[in-house]
Structure 1
């Protein structure tokens, strides 16, 4: 914890330290007694480790204040560590934040009350006393702030709160527009999560009939998770290795998961969108990887389906000449087109891929030439046609008979 606070040596005369130093021991006792008397939560006996931490906090505070008057370069690190830990202990002891802040206010009042008596007894000027008052209350405010940080840190890292903050961090990383890097770093530090250079989003989808009421999954400690939302998701630092993927799948046996590509943090919202799109495509049978999808292997498919309405418009325009065919005939023509593109128009290879006689391939291609004409030979339209065919699921391959040569198709419609 890096914190700095220095009294202004040009404001407070250094000889004031010699005047105040004899008051240290009794002042610390008076502050502790007053806190116990004024705040019911602190009325318990101060025996044991808890009482020692309270007394140590007060003693470090009063001692540091006086030593910084004598030497403004005196380090505050040890005192701040004590008060930071004191704030943590107060949260773990079950005291409220109001009680903690009230204790520092009481400490400031008691300290100032004592210093007014000392000032009067030693004939300190009103100017010095005014400056001393400002210094006392500013110093106690700083210590209260340090203790507050410790209190909030302990609260954030308690069992229930830790999960809440981890989900909050995940939401900050995946929100659009992205949260400030500094805000992500501060929250990550608070919960003890190391911010990686790159990370991989994982989209999660419960299988039909399983619902979300599963046992709490056991995931690796560095995996951020939000499985209770409308769109469950994980965030894995770095690449998702095969071993990591196996552990995630074991933790989520009733889910389909889609692993997005590993990208920088500012690109994670888009990568998660691609992973979720891959889940949707798998649900519709367009991606057939089973229950574990590596989105990176299907980026072209995700790209083609990034605008389904545009894709449908392109499909309708390109394949309009085949609209007069029956469903079965149209499927046969489409699978022939796919084979034509896959084999670079090699008739023997097309025949082997389709499981038909080469003469059948030639017959079908003549029909396609008549129906589609220049579309098959224009590079731009041929590219568009391949996009459409890649985005249109092929029907499952059936057992074909070799005697498909004599299939009769209706005459193609005249081209306008």
Structure 2
């Protein structure tokens, strides 16, 4: 049974697959340790690649391996995911001038750990011999599939125009996390024929929205990954140039100094996540700086959940049909600077309705809400409570 025809692979018994899933974190830990110990230079270099780390690569690979026999997810989908992952990794190696030999060694090390663990599990759990044989064969086939995909990505990258390769190296460096070892940005920009700006912003595009679908000026750097494409905009103007892609669901990260592109990309992708959940509107594009409250609430949900009981108390115990109008009124009232008339206009209700609701809130909370000294905290909690999908 091979990954060449993954649709022929039968699903594992439910309890066996659940056991594999339970053991995944420990297996990933062991595989990561084997690579770090056996190939420390490669582990450090891999952690410097944009968007990847040894841990992430191993975790995704093991997850795909288990998914091959998942009755809820067809084998071809898991195989396609692993192919896409390793094509990107191979392309990264080609872009950075790193040979694939060490990647093959890393996969071999991790594969040995996986097979040893499978054998131990088989003897301990008394699996049928045919099941162990199938899983072991699938593990080796998965490694072969990954190596072949990485080789294709590497070859495709190395055959590209050298100037395009330099532009992609610069793009990756501009959004790399702080501390990532790289050439100075001035050198990379010079090699790419790109004028280094003072500031930049990152526009995250929805999955499948290929940058080549848009007419872009030459100074814009694009990531063409189908799963997470983005554009780097040098010295962006407010509200944005006329050519800015009007893709519905795109999110523009904050404008940052040129050496902090990772910050803009991180917030753009967080905003994109909330757009996909339906929490934020799918504008074209949506700007992170216009959604500070929701993005902040998204990052602090557990803290705001704990604070909600202290700030709003009995309001949270009301049924939704009573609770929601009170919370919405309170949030708009605080945003309007405690102005009931303006609140009524924003909510399209009568001023007396607003005042009645405020009295209800005060009575339910024994006059403690809203507390003038806790307006900011209360607004953040209300934003979190009223934003769907957070």
Structure-2 residue corresponding to 1:54: none
Mark the CA change 1:199 to 1:218 in structure 2 (over 3 Å): closer, same or farther.
same
Of 322, 337, 340 in structure 1, the residue corresponding to residue 333 of structure 2 is 340
Q: Is 1:279 equivalent to 2:279 in the alignment?
A: no
Structure-2 residue corresponding to 1:220: 217
Q: Is 1:249 equivalent to 2:236 in the alignment?
A: no
Q: CA deviation at 1:237?
A: 1.2
SS at match of 1:205: coil
Structure-1 residue corresponding to 2:168: 167
Mark the CA change 1:271 to 1:214 in structure 2 (over 3 Å): closer, same or farther.
closer
For 2:210 and 2:332, the matched residues in 1 are separated by 46
Mark the CA change 1:229 to 1:312 in structure 2 (over 3 Å): closer, same or farther.
farther
For 2:385 and 2:265, the matched residues in 1 are separated by 24
Question: Is the CA contact (8 Å cut-off) linking 1:285 and 1:393 kept in structure 2?
Answer: no
For 1:217 and 1:356, the matched residues in 2 are separated by 43
For 2:263 and 2:269, the matched residues in 1 are separated by 10
For 1:329 and 1:157, the matched residues in 2 are separated by 62
For 1:359 and 1:217, the matched residues in 2 are separated by 51
Q: How does 1:326-365 map to 2 (within 5 A)?
A: 326-365=319-358
Q: CA deviation at 1:226?
A: 0.6
SS at match of 2:169: helix
For 2:161 and 2:340, the matched residues in 1 are separated by 66
Bigger mean CA offset, 231-240 vs 306-315: 306-315
SS at match of 2:205: strand
The C-alpha deviation readout for 1:230-265, integer Å capped at 9, x for no partner, is: 422211111245563x32316xx4x53222232212
For 1:265 and 1:181, the matched residues in 2 are separated by 15
Q: How does 1:63-212 map to 2 (within 5 A)?
A: 160-179=161-180, 182-206=183-207, 211=208
The C-alpha deviation readout for 1:286-345, integer Å capped at 9, x for no partner, is: 433613112222334323332232233333443341233211101121122124324444
Mark the CA change 1:377 to 1:329 in structure 2 (over 3 Å): closer, same or farther.
closer
For 1:243 and 1:378, the matched residues in 2 are separated by 39
For 1:178 and 1:324, the matched residues in 2 are separated by 47
Q: Is 1:366 equivalent to 2:359 in the alignment?
A: yes
Question: Is the CA contact (8 Å cut-off) linking 1:286 and 1:391 kept in structure 2?
Answer: no
Question: Is the CA contact (8 Å cut-off) linking 1:376 and 1:382 kept in structure 2?
Answer: no
Q: CA deviation at 1:182?
A: 4.6
For 1:197 and 1:362, the matched residues in 2 are separated by 49
Q: Is 1:231 equivalent to 2:232 in the alignment?
A: no
SS at match of 2:299: coil
Q: CA deviation at 1:373?
A: 2.5
Mark the CA change 1:351 to 1:302 in structure 2 (over 3 Å): closer, same or farther.
closer
Between structure 1 and structure 2, the one with the greater Rg is: 1
Unaligned runs of 5+ in 1: 1-155, 396-416
For 1:199 and 1:327, the matched residues in 2 are separated by 43
Q: CA deviation at 1:391?
A: 3.6
For 1:241 and 1:382, the matched residues in 2 are separated by 30
For 1:195 and 1:158, the matched residues in 2 are separated by 26
SS at match of 1:202: strand
SS at match of 2:243: helix
Question: Is the CA contact (8 Å cut-off) linking 2:297 and 2:380 kept in structure 1?
Answer: yes
The C-alpha deviation readout for 1:134-193, integer Å capped at 9, x for no partner, is: xxxxxxxxxxxxxxxxxxxxxx99853333332222111211125467532222222211
Question: Is the CA contact (8 Å cut-off) linking 1:314 and 1:388 kept in structure 2?
Answer: yes
Structure-2 residue corresponding to 1:77: none
For 1:322 and 1:348, the matched residues in 2 are separated by 23
Alpha-carbon RMSD across the aligned residues, in angstroms, is: 3.3
Q: CA deviation at 1:224?
A: 1.0
For 1:391 and 1:203, the matched residues in 2 are separated by 23
SS at match of 1:270: helix
